[in-house]
Amino acid sequence: MAQVRDGSSNTYMLGEKYLNPDDYLTGNCAADNRGMYQGQDFDVNRWAGTSDTLRPRQDNPAYEVNYAFGSAHSGGYNTVLCDGSVRTISYSIDQEIHRRLGNRKDGQPVDASRL
């Protein structure tokens, strides 16, 4: 916890991942073709940032992105923050807030009421 310098309620620990629904059952997606124990891979890692490719999004057929947060839910994706709380984050979250939540030590905590 000492390495989570922005505070445990201001930092993502886990979150749902974006997947192309066309590949939910095929194993053909590079972000969903291995097990959870293989280490550094698109299957288990997601990034938060301000670029459009890192924008959280709802699963969308025929669109492939291997490193964004997202889910099949229509309103947002679920996350667990480092304090253990579970939050549904809107796909329309401000990209800067999203970036801050994904960085445990940037010195820029977020106002939880903005989630």
Res. 82 pLDDT band, cuts 50 70 90: very high
Res. 96 pLDDT band, cuts 50 70 90: very high
Least confident stretch, 34-38, 68-72, 105-109: 34-38
Sign, Cα dihedral of 87, 79, 112, 52:
negative
What is the predicted pLDDT for the residue at 80? 97
Q: Which amino acid is at 85?
A: S
Least confident stretch, 67-71, 83-87, 111-115: 111-115
Judged against a pLDDT cut of 90, whether residue 7 lies above it is answered with no
* Domain ranges within the chain, ordered by starting residue: 8-107
Q: How many CB atoms lie within 10 A of CB 48?
A: 21
Buried b (16+ CB within 10 A) or exposed e, 53-64: ebbbbbbeeeee
Helix (H, G, I), strand (E, B) or coil at 101: helix
